[in-house]
Amino acid sequence: MLEAVFQPGSALSAWIEFAAGKPLPPIDFECRLMEVGWPTGGSGSESEQLAYIRRLPAFLEQVDVSVVVWAWLHDITLAEFDADLNTVGLMTNGGRKKPGYREFKMLRNHLRVAERTQLQRMVEDRWYLK
């Protein structure tokens, strides 16, 4: 079963190729991007996180994406994680909004799902980045 996920032409392989800068092949199904993120420490930086977020609309315009979930709202400090995972947040531990925060908030304008459910509207209104 897991082998099918990684086969050429699968949604995951398309996403990996897109993240590497390759054009996205046509995809004819709804996608939900869960735990999207880019580190601002370790192997990443705030400017790289911002560039990654700015590249997402090109993906969203080609795919029927109903949900985009960022991995962490703010940075975390877990001994089990390295600097990459601990710094994926859109805000620092102290609450400072990183440059990618506002850019990520703008992604809702690129979601192509025509009709949202009542639950989706409630979650967006209550929990979406303000």
> Is residue 87 packed enough to be buried (19+ CB in 10 Å), middle (13-18) or exposed (0-12)?
buried
What is residue 6's predicted lDDT score, i.e. its pLDDT? Answer: 47
| Cα torsion 63, 16, 53, 58: sign | negative
Segment 9-23, tens digit of pLDDT: 666 677 677 777 777
**Contact at 8 Å (CB) between 38 and 53?**
yes
Segment 28-87, tens digit of pLDDT: 666 778 888 999 999 999 999 999 999 888 877 777 777 788 999 999 999 999 999 999
What is residue 56's predicted lDDT score, i.e. its pLDDT? Answer: 85
| More confident: 95 or 109 | 95
Band the pLDDT of 2: cuts 50, 70, 90: very low
**Contact at 8 Å (CB) between 27 and 11?**
yes
| pTM above threshold 0.75 | no
- Write a three-state SS string for 49-116: HHHHHHHHHHHHCCCEEEEEEECCCECCCCCCCCHHHHCCCCECCCCCECHHHHHHHHHHHHCCCCCC
What is residue 111's predicted lDDT score, i.e. its pLDDT? Answer: 66
What is residue 126's predicted lDDT score, i.e. its pLDDT? Answer: 52
